[in-house]
Every structure is written in structure tokens, then in C-alpha cells.
Structure 1
Amino acid sequence: MNIDLHSHSRQSDGVLSPAELAARAHANGVDWWALSDHDETSGLAEAAQAASDLGLGFIPGVEISVTFCEKTVHILGLQIDPGNRDLSAGLAAIRRSRFERAGQMADRLADCGIPNALEGALRHVDNPDLISRVHFARHLLEQEHVKSLQQAFDRYLGDGKRAFVPIQWVSLEQALGWIRAAGGKAVIAHPGRYKYTPQQHDALFQVFKDLGGQGVEVITGAHTPAQSKRYAKLAAAYGFQASRGSDFHAPGVGRVDLGAMPDLPEGLVPVWQDWI
């Protein structure tokens, strides 16, 4: 089966509505699909209804922002109950931090000669509480301050750049606690993206396992083939289940479309084995 358990709608930093994402997944031959917006579950009801109407299997998800060893890590919560109070309250606190950070980024962009960036970024957001660096990047591209989204990060928004504002997200322990409370399964998203030393990288996997984390994203649009092989081996070594997700945000953006990834390598236990 074609299973894609990582995608984003306009409820966070994607460009399609949850229903449009469901339609695209169905058209691309996806059999089971998860919506996993950043720190937000408000699109899940629409996504579930659209998937049901299409005969598309649906897994409710969320992608939680975590700080570990002073860097941002994303943890997927899959097969969650979006109405869980612990999860809802925790995500609301993260969203408040996001908006405060956005104001600081706008101030720094103004110092770079780019005024009114917050207002411009908000034009690209359905949910102001979920404003992110991607929305600022879209504004900078729209106003021709940069020639691509990547250049916006390389010049202004990336870690350590002129408009970058660090933020202290929740702890790994908090995020996994919320996911467990919501009946879900915790998965490390796109581990190949995190710029850790080998020791920090191993610490992430070990602490995640010790806290009850169950899965790692092996096949994802953010991984090269070499990285997928590496994390397949690490999943087996740590006893993690393996997940597969495009991390789709928008048509024509990123390496792959919804559902357009290789299969999981043989010998791994899929994270969806209990659900499908």
C-alpha cells in the first residue's frame, strides 16, 4: 500500500486546505494518509471527513516542535485523539510562543530595511497563531527581496542569520507525554535534518527511546537515499518502528509529492502495523 504519514495544510505552513490535501493524496494513489500540521490539530476534522468521502484511509496526526540540545527537533504524534485536553493545552502554549517570535523576526527584518514584514507574512497564513519562518520567506519572495524560498533562509531567516530569532520549544519529555495522553505513537520526524554532533545524535535517539518513543521517519522527502539507508539501520539497531512520509507542503516545493516516495526497506517494522 501507498502510505504517507506526514503532510501540512494551510492550518500551519502548507498552502492547500485539508480537503485539498486529501484530494491530492487520493489522486496520487495514496491509500492511507496523515495530516500532521505543526503544533495544530484544527484541520483534522475537515481532513477526516474529506478522506472518508474519498474512501481514503486517514490517520490523525500533529508535528510538535521540541528543543533538544539547543536545537529544534520535530516529533510526529500519529493516531492521536485531537480532543485530548493535555495535548490541546500544550499545543496552544506553543502557538503563543510562535506569534511572539514572529513579532521579533519582523523587527529584525525592519532593521535589514524590510518594513511591515509581519503584515506581509500574515497574508500567507490562515491561522495567525501558526505563523512561521516559511510565511516570512513567502512574503520576501513575493516582494522580490529574494529569488527563492531557500535564499530567504540563507540570507535572513536561517539559523544564525540576520532575522533569525531562537526560541525555546517544549521538552522531548513534555511532547511525548502529550502524545501518550492522546493515545498516539511518537515518531522522530526527518532525523537527517538535525545538525548534531554524533554524540548529540545518539543522545536524541537514546533519550527518545527511554521516554517511550516508538518510531523514526526513515523514508521522507527531506532524506537523501543515503540518509534513508542510514536511518533504516538505526531504526533496526534501536528497535524503532519505521515511518514513511513526504513532508508535503505545497505543489512544486520540496523533493517529492504526496505519496511519491520509495517503499520502506525490507526487514523494518512499519509504524502503522497496529492500525492498518
Structure 2
Amino acid sequence: MLIDLHAHSRVSDGTESPRDLVRAAAAAGLGVVALTDHDQTAGWDEAAAAAQELGLGFVPGMEVSCMTRAGISVHLLSYLHDPADPGLLAEIGRARDSRMHRARRMVDLLGEDFPISWETVMEHTAEGATIGRPHIADALVATGVVPTRSRAFETMLSHRSRYYVGHYALDPVEAVRLVAGAGGVPVFAHPVASERGRVVGEDVLEAMIAAGLAGLEIDHRDNPEPGRRRLRQLAAEHDLIVTGSSDYHGTGKPNRLGENSTAPEMLERIVAAGTGSRPVGL
């Protein structure tokens, strides 16, 4: 069975509706797919219904935006948590609000030099979506400023750009505690993706594990092979769940559904550990 536990819809920064994402997963030959939109669970019901119709296994999830005190971005995947948990809900709401203010400020700065406005960005954003840099990138592509979303991130939307604006994000150790407290299964997304920017050291990893981190997303295109080997050692030492995923965003990124996958026994561990919500068809 082909299992992909990291994919995004238009509810965050993917390009497909939750229903169409599940259809794409079925067309790609997946047996199980997880929806892990950034700081959002609004697509769960639509994706679950589509999975039932197609006979596909579905795991409800979310990707939580985190930041260390040193300013290093961390992404934490949460599977099978309670979407109404007040503690987690309050924090992701705060993060979404901060992203919105940050996006508006970045668009204002970009608008001083390029033909882009907030209205342009909204044309490329699904209603209720968590607005972020990918939506700004799509607007820049649409107006001809850059050829691709990737090029926008390499240049004017990078952390080094004068147009970049920071935003609030949870401390990763606290995020692990909140996800676990909401009955979820916390898994560190692409932990050594150094081409994206700075990555955390093993001190942060160890602190996250001590707080209840359940797993590591190891097989991901952005994790270099030497880093994957070290992550496997850590997973073995701490008996962590090991996942592999695509981090699919539709046409927004080159990542393809099923390009990396998770072993069935690891999915079984996730399903057994998650108590906040239930998967479909598993």
C-alpha cells in the first residue's frame, strides 16, 4: 500500500481543493493520504468525504508553524488531533492572524516596486485559506514579475530579501506538548531540509523528543542523505515513528504524490497513538 502523509490543499498553500487533492491521490495510486494544511483543519470534512467515495484511506492532519528562539523555522506535522482543542486552537489562530498581517505588510513593500496589490493576492487565494508567501508568489507569477513560485521564494520572498517580514510562530517544544495534549501524534516535518534555510541542532531535537515528539519525517526530497542517516539513528535510539512523504502542493511545487511513502507498520503506530480524531477507511 502506498501511503503519503504530507499534502496540502487550497485551504493553505496548495493549488487544489481538498476533494480534488484526494482524487489526485487516488489517481496516483495511493492507498492512504493525509491532508496537512498549514495551521488549518478546515479541509478535513471535504477530504474525508471524498476518500469515502473513492475507497481511499484518509488521515486528518495539520502542519503547525513553529519558530525557535534563535529564529529557526520548524514545521511540525500533527496527525489525528482534536481540531477543537482550545489550547492548540488558540495558538494556531494566533499564528494565522500573524501570517495575515505579515502577508499584508510584505505586499505593501513589494507594491512599492512591482505591480502587485492585496487584491491581486486575494485572486490567488481560496476563501478562508491561511494566507502566506506562496499566495504572494502566485500573484507575482500571474503579474509576470517572476516565472515560477520557486523563483519568487529564491529572490524577493526569501529570508534575505528586504521585502521579507517575520511572523509569530509557536516554539516547537511547546507545539509538541500542545499537539500531544490534543490527542494528536506530533511528527517533525523535513527536519534537516538545509536548502530551505537553517535547521535546528540535536539539542532542539532532543528537547522535542523529551516533550513527546512521536516521529520524524525522514524520506522527504528536501532531506539530504547524510541527514537522513543521522535521523534514522535517532529514530532507532528513541523508538520514533519514521515517515516518508511528498509534501505535495499541486502545481505550486514540483513534489509529486507518492514520491516518498510511509511503511504500513508506521501508519499503524500513528493510528494507534492518535486519540483526538479518527482516520477514514483504516
TM over 0.5: yes
Aligned residue for 2:60, secondary structure, equals strand
Aligned residue for 2:7, secondary structure, equals coil
Change beyond 3 A, Cα 1:110–1:274: closer
TM-score, length basis structure 2: 0.87
The CA distance in 2 between the partners of 1:137 and 1:47, in whole Å, is 25
CA distances 1:240-271 after superposition (whole Å, capped 9, x unpaired): 211121100014722x311122666xxx9725
The CA distance in 2 between the partners of 1:17 and 1:210, in whole Å, is 36
Change beyond 3 A, Cα 1:272–1:160: farther
Query: Structure 1 residue 209: deviation in Å?
Result: 0.6
Residues 55-94 of structure 1 mapped to structure 2, 5 A cutoff: 55-68=55-68, 69-94=70-95
Aligned residue for 1:66, secondary structure, equals strand
* Identical counterparts, % of pairs: 33
Residues 18-167 of structure 1 mapped to structure 2, 5 A cutoff: 18-68=18-68, 69-111=70-112, 113-127=113-127, 130-167=130-167
Q: Which amino acid aligns with 1:132?
A: G
Query: Structure 1 residue 228: deviation in Å?
Result: 3.4
The CA distance in 1 between the partners of 2:252 and 2:160, in whole Å, is 27
CA distances 1:170-216 after superposition (whole Å, capped 9, x unpaired): 1123322331232111010011225447xx41122111111111111
The CA distance in 1 between the partners of 2:226 and 2:97, in whole Å, is 37
Of the structure 1 ranges 204-213 and 127-136, higher mean CA displacement relative to structure 2 is found in: 127-136
Number of residue pairs the alignment of both structures matches: 269
Question: Which gives a bigger RCO, structure 1 or 2 (Cα 8 Å, sep 6+)?
Answer: 2
Change beyond 3 A, Cα 1:23–1:225: farther
Residue of structure 2 equivalent to 1:13: 13
Q: Which amino acid aligns with 2:266?
A: P
Moved over 4 A (4+): 224-227
Query: Structure 1 residue 115: deviation in Å?
Result: 4.4
CA-based RMSD of the aligned residues comes to: 2.2
Query: Structure 1 residue 64: deviation in Å?
Result: 0.3
The CA distance in 2 between the partners of 1:18 and 1:134, in whole Å, is 17
Residue of structure 1 equivalent to 2:258: 259
CA contact (8 A) 2:79 2:270 kept: no
> Are 1:273 and 2:269 an aligned pair?
yes
Aligned residue for 2:250, secondary structure, equals coil
The CA distance in 2 between the partners of 1:196 and 1:239, in whole Å, is 26
Consecutive unaligned residues of structure 2, counting only runs of 5 or more, are 272-281
> Are 1:231 and 2:231 an aligned pair?
yes
Query: Structure 1 residue 14: deviation in Å?
Result: 0.2
Q: Which amino acid aligns with 1:104?
A: R
Residue of structure 1 equivalent to 2:179: 179
CA contact (8 A) 1:221 1:248 kept: no
